[in-house]
Structure 1
């Protein structure tokens, strides 16, 4: 019986044994995310957490004065992982500012490119990064008792994925050696090829522009995409079964594991994949065309849908400074006082933000991060909500399910679930998957949703292909709408980056960018404590969670904490450092399993 199980049984707490531990950096490419914790090893729980970023980018500063037509190409460089999401969102904002709508075939090309990006990125992250924390090698090092049980537990969905026991699945995810780990890399290559067919190159698109695309709309463009999509459908179906088997097992093997990474349900989704039959990019009609997206926008609080209105979502955006390294702009002249519908725009809205960096020493009792604190103001309750994205898929599926508006031959939202229909593939028959709204917003459910959203993306790609090929066969091959840059205008774009909400806000004056603010998902998830003392989602999810790892302080891997942070899909680890107390190095980890240290 673990200490956590013992406490749950007896209700007794032991005298605390607090140890300061930090993982800094936790990164994918450039080492700028740090997680600082206090862990009570006597009662096996995290008592405090701070999320910090050591990197200032400054895009909102140097975008000023640029030609707005360059915004998509510049902002794609914000990220070396999902740069296309930024290009797409920037083009959405520009199309609103220019008053234009791309031809339907161009919209289909963009949707196909974004569907391929979701499949690519979620697959490589889930199977080659997330599952490193659930693979045999890691579980053996952190929870040998769980692995022993996994060896004896049959895999319920073995008829789909082919593995006999849960431990066999865990072995299949071992880095560099496991069958699923290696197959996921192959699938990621194929889905990246699909992306490049539509958007030119990965990850900074060469064929996306405001007003349309430069992709040649030939029949082979779409058949080349289709043949690759059909090649990965078996893997997509099997991945859902593999994920469900492992995650269901963790709930059974570790009673109380649902509390790991659990936080109040506060999810934000800005919607994805425009419906060209409805969307005209006008702000005045944004409420309607937002609801027509093939991933439905929404703010979900305590399991209930607060709004699906993009105008209301837009007006509720607030950027709070809190514990970040910036000077306040509250007393400056606003760029936008009212939106195009006449609604007042708050001074802390992205349209009005002025970024003034103030470098300083990190102080966990004061300012400690370069990340600001985006919040959503709920005018009904007066709360500034620290929305999270659920790593992207959890919020997207939850919002879409509750809205019940998506109804296509391939994906249907029911009000309590999302049904995904995939055709017969090489080995597996026609399959209908159903994601149900879970009981919790926690680590396991963030991760589980990811494999379902890969299937969702594959299903929607089939529909977008049908629409595109129908237009080509009918001779409608228009892919661009011409435009003029106005002297003055404002625009906003709403999209879903791979790991969650993405917005771009643009102000044009004298045909130049006067103000520009992109807000991707990581600032929402990794934000520090805000002006009201509310912790950001990483901090909130980690702080208070139980520790199930069997190791003590001397050889502690922090796997439960890492699972929680990675469930949000942050920029992933190229290196993990561990420190004890006042910055003294406890251990440098060089195994590929745990990440390489950079002393």
Structure 2
């Protein structure tokens, strides 16, 4: 490996693959080491899946079983979203108990997946070993810095927190692995099998609901609640320390606040799954849907969110479908539907040699059209967008959760070893790497608090004699429908068109195409690309020993799904033209 001798030259560096949901993620950068900043980034996906192609002609009742196989991590989120789309198509409303069971399963999935990613994957980026390799000066300071909340989590210094995160050996790392075991058990109690549910169906669930079932879930949930009383203050101490130790670190992974949340966890008292009432029942979700631009909530309307989705090809390996059939010209409310909407999408793959000036990835460019601009929304890794939208909307009010308009207040009840504890997630100043990670911690507490409510609701149904969990339905000859929820790492939608009782068109859009999208038809980079391009370099290593930790923290903060294998290559030392670009954060966002 070689680099240019001239510190003023740009150096090409790449990390490929970084494994994620829909294939292998590659990050290709150009770095100005003299200015200590990434000046260019391209995000690539090297695997084509083709679900939208082979779903055609299938029995729509099989859709959730098939689409859950899109991912081996969040397959249940796909199954759930598909079931929602089928409920709309078939005109079926599940019994309340069936919906509470589904909510409990999805809440457990949030707890499981966020825990294992935060503590056992992204947490490694902040552990003692990693910091020692990349920023030994920061580790020295961490060893001298007292933890403000040591009494809550038990680690006297920030250095002690970092040591606890060391893989396989760290105390907290090992504890989190045990937590992932019983949160997965919680999921299986409700949905039968992880990660491809065996008890989810349109019209409800096949789970046998008993008091014992929910008691088994609750015993594990309360252990998780106690765990979160330690985790939230621990991560607050760790992330706050990085701001203090490295002035300017707020710019790592930072981009304009362009957040999308499609909402999740329906309230069966309000949700009838009809498109005509979708705005009303969408606003009753326990995670509020919304689009947040520059800190302002543009809408909480699922109809607006749906109609604003555009699929742009940009620099991806596909042919356009301008001359192809439009499946849906107007939605069930009579609103016009764009040709670039998922209902009308045609997937026409055309593989080619990777060329960053032309086509370079299998990921398309989903955008949200606000009437003027095609916005490159991101999910903030999931929790950042969810909490931000829910906080601004101020609609969610339960025994344990209160959205205030500028924050989300979470109350966790008394547990065996810890008293009742209250946390408050406040809307941050930035959409950056550290705040995406912080939100992931707070959302674990949020999911646990909601699960307490769902358990109470489910037990009330059983005690009232309402034990049915499924409602029969018939498949219509023709229908158009959509399902909206939040996969662990962000927005998830399924759009379906039925003709002659079979699937004529089906397009699932998980968070990874949104976050990992390529430059679109207007030249706008995708969120990974944008966040990395705006990232300064704080790593202390010279170019020849460069690990790229700041870049990896930026990418992994989006939760690109189990980044277990990272291969890095330095360029051949080729001298590139020097680029002088204004600092990305002079603009007022």
TM-score when scaled to structure 2? 0.96
Counterpart Cα distance in 1 of 2:373 and 2:519: 15
Counterpart Cα distance in 2 of 1:142 and 1:479: 53
Say whether the 8 Å CA contact 2:23–2:48 is kept in structure 1: no
2:484 is paired with a residue whose SS is strand
Q: Would you say 1:347 and 2:339 are equivalent positions?
A: yes
C-alpha displacement of 1:426: 2.1
1:570 is paired with a residue whose SS is coil
Deviations 1:68-111 (A, max 9, x none): 00000000000000000000000000000001110000000000
C-alpha displacement of 1:571: 2.2
Say whether the 8 Å CA contact 1:33–1:53 is kept in structure 2: yes
Q: Would you say 1:453 and 2:443 are equivalent positions?
A: yes
Say whether the 8 Å CA contact 2:314–2:519 is kept in structure 1: yes
Counterpart Cα distance in 2 of 1:28 and 1:259: 24
1:154 is paired with a residue whose SS is coil
Q: Would you say 1:86 and 2:78 are equivalent positions?
A: yes
Say whether the 8 Å CA contact 2:224–2:448 is kept in structure 1: no
Counterpart of 1:475? 465
Say whether the 8 Å CA contact 1:31–1:575 is kept in structure 2: no
Counterpart of 2:54? 62
Q: Which aligned pairs between 1:243-392 and structure 2 lie closer than 5 A?
A: 243-379=235-371, 382-392=372-382
1:284 is paired with a residue whose SS is coil
C-alpha displacement of 1:15: 6.7
The one of 230, 241, 255 equivalent to 2:222 is 230
- The unaligned stretches of length 5 or more in structure 2 are 1-5, 575-589
Two-structure CA RMSD over aligned residues (Å): 1.2
Counterpart Cα distance in 2 of 1:241 and 1:344: 48
C-alpha displacement of 1:30: 8.4
Counterpart of 1:96? 88
Counterpart of 2:578? none
Say whether the 8 Å CA contact 2:10–2:31 is kept in structure 1: yes
Counterpart of 1:240? 232
Counterpart of 1:166? 158
Counterpart of 1:597? none
Counterpart of 2:211? 219
Say whether the 8 Å CA contact 1:29–1:574 is kept in structure 2: no
Counterpart of 2:584? none
The one of 425, 429, 433 equivalent to 1:439 is 429
Counterpart Cα distance in 2 of 1:28 and 1:370: 13
Q: Would you say 1:112 and 2:104 are equivalent positions?
A: yes
2:19 is paired with a residue whose SS is coil
Q: Which aligned pairs between 1:12-51 and structure 2 lie closer than 5 A?
A: 16-28=8-20, 32-51=24-43
Say whether the 8 Å CA contact 2:433–2:553 is kept in structure 1: yes
**Structure 1 residues 211 and 29 mapped into 2: Cα distance closer, same or farther (>3 Å)?**
closer
Say whether the 8 Å CA contact 1:31–1:574 is kept in structure 2: no
C-alpha displacement of 1:333: 1.5
Q: Would you say 1:555 and 2:555 are equivalent positions?
A: no
Counterpart of 2:557? 567
C-alpha displacement of 1:28: 4.9
1:271 is paired with a residue whose SS is coil
Q: Would you say 1:208 and 2:200 are equivalent positions?
A: yes
Deviations 1:171-205 (A, max 9, x none): 00000000110000000000000000000000000
C-alpha displacement of 1:31: 5.9
Counterpart Cα distance in 1 of 2:368 and 2:15: 29
TM-score when scaled to structure 1? 0.94
Number of equivalences: 569
The one of 189, 212, 215 equivalent to 1:197 is 189
Q: Would you say 1:416 and 2:406 are equivalent positions?
A: yes
Deviations 1:120-158 (A, max 9, x none): 000000000111000000000000000000000000000
Counterpart Cα distance in 2 of 1:57 and 1:29: 11
Counterpart Cα distance in 1 of 2:573 and 2:30: 13
Counterpart Cα distance in 2 of 1:569 and 1:297: 20
**Structure 1 residues 109 and 583 mapped into 2: Cα distance closer, same or farther (>3 Å)?**
farther
Q: Please list every run of at least 4 consecutive aligned residues from structure 1 whose deviation after the TM superposition is greater than 3 angstroms.
A: 28-31
Say whether the 8 Å CA contact 2:21–2:71 is kept in structure 1: no
Counterpart Cα distance in 1 of 2:534 and 2:91: 48
Deviations 1:447-495 (A, max 9, x none): 0000100000000000000000001011100111101100000110000
The one of 482, 487, 499 equivalent to 2:489 is 499
Say whether the 8 Å CA contact 2:183–2:220 is kept in structure 1: yes
Counterpart of 1:124? 116
Counterpart Cα distance in 2 of 1:157 and 1:241: 6
2:419 is paired with a residue whose SS is coil
1:428 is paired with a residue whose SS is coil
Counterpart of 1:488? 478
Counterpart Cα distance in 2 of 1:48 and 1:322: 17
C-alpha displacement of 1:58: 0.1
2:350 is paired with a residue whose SS is coil
Counterpart of 1:3? none
1:195 is paired with a residue whose SS is helix
Q: Would you say 1:185 and 2:186 are equivalent positions?
A: no
2:142 is paired with a residue whose SS is helix
C-alpha displacement of 1:552: 1.1
C-alpha displacement of 1:19: 0.7
Say whether the 8 Å CA contact 1:31–1:573 is kept in structure 2: no
Counterpart Cα distance in 1 of 2:551 and 2:9: 18
Say whether the 8 Å CA contact 2:367–2:514 is kept in structure 1: yes
Say whether the 8 Å CA contact 1:421–1:432 is kept in structure 2: yes
Counterpart of 1:592? none
Deviations 1:527-561 (A, max 9, x none): 00000000000000000310000001111000000
Deviations 1:339-388 (A, max 9, x none): 00000000000000000100110000110000000000001xx1000000
Counterpart of 2:577? none
Deviations 1:202-231 (A, max 9, x none): 000000000000000111110000001112
C-alpha displacement of 1:575: 1.5
2:17 is paired with a residue whose SS is coil
- The unaligned stretches of length 5 or more in structure 1 are 1-13, 585-599
